[in-house]
Amino acid sequence: MSDKADLKGVVCAAVTPVDAAFRIDAARLAHHCDRVLSDGCTFVSVFGTTGEGASFSSAEKAEALSQLIASGIPAARQIPAIMTPVLSEAAEMLAAIEAQDCRAALVLPPFYYADPGDEAIVAFIDAMLERSASDRTDLVLYNIPRFARIAYTPALVEKLLHRFGNRIVGVKDSTGALENGLTLAREFPGLSIFTGDDRVMPQLRLGGGAGMIGGMPNLFAADALRVFNAPAADATEPLRRAAARRIEVVDGNGGLVVIKAVLARRYQAPGWARAVPPLTALAPDALRDILAALEETGHAFGPEA
């Protein structure tokens, strides 16, 4: 396990391009990851919520991860997600992440069963570590109760730290609630606390947070970096207003499928717009109004030069 000092900045939760059979298109994903890293993102996090991670098997994701690294995306700049309630699948994914020496793993709690209790979550992660034979990969806890129905509360984080020590290095708090992130930063100063929400990042940074892991850097990495690097929250007010409007436009029209549709235009590659069922691609006639709304926030999306 390595020093946690580097676990900060803007991390792009990358969307996942797929082919016509809904298989991961690793070549296009590598090109996209290279672009956001070149734009200044500290890390990429593949196969999370924005990356439709729950729609692929661990074997598919492990193979794609191997192809990403073979294509030149450094393992040291990747924080792949583990997005499954199936113990064997979680262990398989963690084993693949460790075999590639990725910087860390982003771990969603096992969803489906409602309110299993804190000790059950600890037991799941314990069994995942044992079955995967993982002994060095850092773990970032992924707190997104809107989807997982289970929250990494301060009490649960404390229990995980007690059981696993410095294997737990951070939390991605995707509640969108500033006070939740600030509480985590205050109670766990030794952890890297990330938000998933651009609007929360300035205040969280001032409160000891590490930055953000989110989907909007797929499109707006430069603005997110300006917010991250600003010396004070009030210096970012125009960018925060733009970020709020962008989130409203993207989330209000389908979330990740909007990001994919915009990237399809940017890359001049219609296949980028595909989503894995049960998600459906954005209707082509909806994109014009979405692009117009995004352009009003100061960013135009013409084809990539």
Annotated binding site: 50, 213
What is the C-alpha separation between 125 and 86, in angstroms, rounded?
11
Is residue 152 annotated as a catalytic residue, yes or no?
A: no
Among candidate residues 8, 61, 142, 152, the one labeled active-site is 142
Do 263 and 219 contact (CB within 8 A), yes or no?
yes
The beta strands (E) that lie in the chain are given as: 9-13, 43-45, 81-82, 104-107, 138-143, 168-173, 192-195, 211-214
Rg of the Cα trace of the chain? Answer: 18
Among candidate residues 8, 61, 152, 172, the one labeled active-site is 172
Rounded to 10 deg, the angle between the 256-267 and 237-251 helix axes is 100
Is residue 172 annotated as a catalytic residue, yes or no?
A: yes
CA dihedral 144, 78, 191, 241 (to 10 degrees): -60
Q: Which residues of 7-40 are buried (b: 16+ CB within 10 A; e: fewer)?
A: bbbbbbbbbbbbeeeeebbbebbbbbbebbbeeb
**Annotated binding-site positions for pyruvate:** 50, 213
Write the single-letter amino acid at 50.
T
Helix, strand, coil percentages, rounded to 5, for the chain? 50, 10, 35
Q: Which residues are catalytic?
A: 142, 172
